[in-house]
């Protein structure tokens, strides 16, 4: 398995045919490329913070349009000035390459539109 940087992942597209869930070692090898993400219970997760509710909803909307084009869908947990985003690939029962690709895209949206962090 190839470990890709965040920049490399942003340019990739999700693969329609999954090779299956990544094992624990593979997940841990991929996480350093996305330093704001962590391993949750069967998913990867990141908390994003915003100035207000409008920014939060704008981010969630942009994320929805972006990942839907990849036919991949996170679980966002939305609050007034923040959002936790969780990725897990249901059809493989765990974390897949597509989760890391979409996580990188989420980070790019955050960096580009909200001026937080590097993409």
Query: Model pTM?
Result: 0.82
Pairing outcome for strands 38-39 and 44-49: antiparallel
What is the per-residue DSSP string for 2-30? ----HHHHHH----SS---PPPHHHHHHH
Read off the tokens for 29: 């090898």
- State the Cα–Cα distance between residues 28 and 40, nearest whole angstrom: 11
- State the Cα–Cα distance between residues 78 and 39, nearest whole angstrom: 19
Q: Around Cβ 2, how many Cβ atoms within 10 Å?
A: 7
Pick the closest to residue 39 from 25, 60, 50, 18 (CA basis).
25
Question: What is the pLDDT at residue 118?
Answer: 45
Question: What is the pLDDT at residue 119?
Answer: 40
Question: What is the pLDDT at residue 25?
Answer: 94
Q: Is 52 exposed, middle or buried (0-12, 13-18, 19+ CB in 10 A)?
A: exposed
- State the Cα–Cα distance between residues 26 and 38, nearest whole angstrom: 13
Domain definitions of the chain by residue range: 36-119
Mean pLDDT for back-to-back runs of 10 residues, the chain (119 residues): 63 61 93 95 95 96 91 90 94 90 94 69
CATH topology of domain 36-119: Gyrase A; domain 2 (3.30.1360)
């Amino acid at each position: 398995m190839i470990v890709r940087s965040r920049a490399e992942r942003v340019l990739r597209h999700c693969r329609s045919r999954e090779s299956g869930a990544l094992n624990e070692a593979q997940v841990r090898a991929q996480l350093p490329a996305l330093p704001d993400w962590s391993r949750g219970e069967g998913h990867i997760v990141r908390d994003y913070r915003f100035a207000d509710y409008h920014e939060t909803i704008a981010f969630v909307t942009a994320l929805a349009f972006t990942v839907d084009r990849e036919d991949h869908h996170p679980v966002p947990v939305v609050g007034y000035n923040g959002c936790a985003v969780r990725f897990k690939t249901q059809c493989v029962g765990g974390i897949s390459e597509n989760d890391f690709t979409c996580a990188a895209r989420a980070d790019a949206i955050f960096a580009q539109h909200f001026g937080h962090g590097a993409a």
